[in-house]
Structure 1
Amino acid sequence: IQPFILNDTYAADLTLIPKLSAEKLDISQLKQFPIKSLLPSSIQPSLGETFLIYGEIDPEVNPQQIANECVENLFDSAQIKPVFLNQGELFKSLLFEYEATELNSTNNQSNKIKILVLLNNSQAETIELAEKSYEWILQLLCCRHKINFIYQEARNLYPQARKYYSKLETQMENFSQVTKDPKTRLESLKQILEKIPEDYLYYSRYLRDLKAHKTAL
């Protein structure tokens, strides 16, 4: 395991390879891997985590099917069903992207599991290219997790900020109404003035956090 500090973020890379790199592995053997010890509920990441599976396959086989079987077998013991998102290419190999969340976990970015399956079916120099770009890959994955986390945080904050903005707007509009009745004017103004500081404090806090997230992005 290799720890890193990427600007203001702590990260760790755990790379596992077979004892004999040339040995052929049956995909069903992935079920034996203790995946639960690396899930968000165990390591409690702040920004999420990414699993990258690399394999070399024959060009005759269906790469999509192989990728599906890899993620299904790897997460089988945790009863997690990853969802396929996209397909592309990376370092001259086929790249399949999946996403998953643990059972009974909250739907936030820290619990999101990103899964990438990289399959080399053309004897490309994928490993060599990946080693040369190792730091770049690490930075890219870290930035992606940070962007998704901040975006989700901003989306959660916006309704709250909007709520207190509306309350302040309503209270300001009430100023013109309470002055019409001299008998209740002072009491009504007192009630409004008691509410405004607290509401304004919450609104300022949410607005500050939204600006901080915008700066971070």
Structure 2
Amino acid sequence: MNQTPTAWKVQNPSLTLYAFQLRQDISKSKQQVMDNANQLWEQCVALGEQRNIQILKSLKTELRCYTYNLKDSQYYYNPTNEDQEATAEEKPYLDDWLELVRKDPQSNKARQLRFHSESDKNSLRLMGEIYPLRIHDTYALDLTLRYRETVDIAQLSQLNPAEQIQASLGQTLLLFAKPVNIEESAYQDLANHCVAALVKETAEHLQPSKTGQLFGSPIFEYDNHKQKPRERRHILVWFDSHPDTLSKSVEAYHSLLNLLCCRSKILYAYDQSRQCNQSARELSSQLEQKSEELIQPPEETLEDLEEWLKLIPHMAFPYAKYFRDIEDHRTAITTNIQNYTSRLEKIQALSLPNDNLAWLQNFLDYTCQQWQNQIQIDLNYLTPGQNLFEQMTATIRGIIEVKQAESDRNLEKTLQANEAAAQKREKKLEVVITLVGTGLAVSGISSQVAPHPTEKIPSVSKEANLPSYFGYSFLDILFHILIGVIIAIPMGIIVWWWRTPSKSDR
């Protein structure tokens, strides 16, 4: 019997949130965890407070990564305690897998915590399980909320915890339900309405990207294709329409969980590579601008060039780090593609003859391939930049050496000119001293030999009535000075000629 979408119902709906939080960075050791590594568990506690789910409110008491402090009676995040509490059977697998819920050592059951709430006004009783794990360097959360009753699809919104939990690597919502009296041809439309009920505010941006069949039942994939993991919406709607679907899903549980974890890590690594590429290109653009200024420079001083020389390493080191990080993210993508492929092969081994897993394979064949190509293009673009930093440094060093040599030559010329000027002044001074000294000496000798030479000139001695100074007449003094000048001038000429270097000596 056909029904309108508003009257559609599903039986035993369960909504599982697979959330993945990066525990440690690839560049850090196992003992050094991310600053926000425990964010996933803190958000679960906050969800328990909001929905009054006691097992979630007291989650820290159940997790191995929290220890109790007697001083203030509080539980604190202590990631090193995870390995310390591992059992002998778990220790060989610590690098791959560890269940985080404490349990009775004699129990072989999975470390899940089950919870339920009282029936609401619609007589619906919320039930669920939480299964916290550590997978390699990542915290993984399986949080399932379900109804055991048949419900209208509008009531599915009460199951969605994704608004309260936002994991750093991303997350996937998997709705598993049995359609009630709905024809198979309407399953796509039913899936659309289920998604609209789960995420009302963003439903118009979520269109079915792929469809397939898993373990005999149809499955629909929705994705908003946002690049940032925290903004990405990835929803799977899986309708239980085959008797083997449930049992097969239990067998494939860990493979599917690991596959979704690898998918999230691939998305995260690509997003990180894009951020590194953007930052590196900004540095490259700054370097290009500097290189253009260097090609056609104004009159840069040595101080300006030395400042450039100090600035370039501050740009080169982050650039090299971004380049290295992009290569690390490419390696992470490659590694997780291999792990994704391995898990997909295990799921395929459990699949039924008419199953269609192309929606899982296409992520590898198209999305991952495209991203790997893009990262290679980014690396090819950025590689010359590393050489440009080295060339820029060498060029500036060369310019500094040329300018320094030119400055040294100019300084040497200035010193030589100053020295020549000093020698010229010294020569002039020597000539003056020689002239004055010779004149005074000759005048002195002349005054001793002939104290009164004018007395021997009768016409002068009789007619002149001139003043006398210290026993000498004015004419006597003038006579002796004149004799000194006459003798000093040739002597000065001789000294000047002797002090002047010849052309061959220059």
**Displacement, 1:176?**
6.2
Residue 194 of structure 1, aligned match among 298, 305, 310: 310
SS of structure 1 residue aligned to 2:172: strand
Residue 140 of structure 2, aligned match among 6, 11, 21: 11
Instruction: Specify the code of the residue in structure 1 equivalent to 2:146.
Output: I
**Displacement, 1:168?**
3.5
Would you say the 8 A contact 2:145–2:159 is kept in 1?
Answer: no
**Displacement, 1:87?**
1.3
Instruction: Specify the code of the residue in structure 2 equivalent to 1:214.
Output: R
**Displacement, 1:158?**
0.7
Aligned residues: 200
Unmatched 5+ residue regions in structure 2? 1-129, 334-506
Q: How does 1:155-166 map to 2 (within 5 A)?
A: 155-166=274-285
Instruction: Specify the code of the residue in structure 2 equivalent to 1:116.
Output: L
Between the two proteins, what is the percent identity of the paired residues? 35
Matched, 1:212 2:328: yes
**Displacement, 1:72?**
1.0
Residue 141 of structure 1, aligned match among 257, 260, 265: 260
**Displacement, 1:140?**
0.5
**Displacement, 1:171?**
4.2
**Displacement, 1:163?**
2.5
SS of structure 2 residue aligned to 1:4: strand
Which structure has more relative contact order (CA 8 Å, sep 6+)? It is 1
Aligned equivalent of 2:80? none
Structure 2 length normalisation: TM-score?
0.36
Instruction: Specify the code of the residue in structure 1 equivalent to 2:210.
Output: N
- Comparing both structures, which one devotes a greater share of its residues to helix? 2
Would you say the 8 A contact 1:80–1:100 is kept in 2?
Answer: no
Aligned equivalent of 1:72? 196
Q: Residue by residue, what CA displacement relative to the aligned partner does 1:59-117 show, whole Å, maximum 9, x if unpaired?
A: 624001110111111223xx23251222122222111111359xxxx962123221100
Aligned equivalent of 1:89? 213
How many angstroms apart in 1 are the aligned matches of 2:327 and 2:145? 40
How many angstroms apart in 2 are the aligned matches of 1:216 and 1:206? 15
How many angstroms apart in 1 are the aligned matches of 2:239 and 2:144? 17
SS of structure 2 residue aligned to 1:38: coil
Structure 1 length normalisation: TM-score?
0.80
**Displacement, 1:120?**
3.1
Superposition RMSD on alpha carbons, in Å?
Answer: 2.6
Matched, 1:130 2:130: no
**Displacement, 1:133?**
0.5
Q: Residue by residue, what CA displacement relative to the aligned partner does 1:154-184 show, whole Å, maximum 9, x if unpaired?
A: 1122122123234345545766666xx8x64
**Displacement, 1:143?**
0.6
**Displacement, 1:210?**
1.2
Q: 1:176 to 1:29 in 2, by over 3 A?
A: closer
SS of structure 2 residue aligned to 1:51: strand
Aligned equivalent of 2:481? none
How many angstroms apart in 2 are the aligned matches of 1:174 and 1:158? 24
Instruction: Specify the code of the residue in structure 2 equivalent to 1:11.
Output: A
SS of structure 1 residue aligned to 2:146: coil
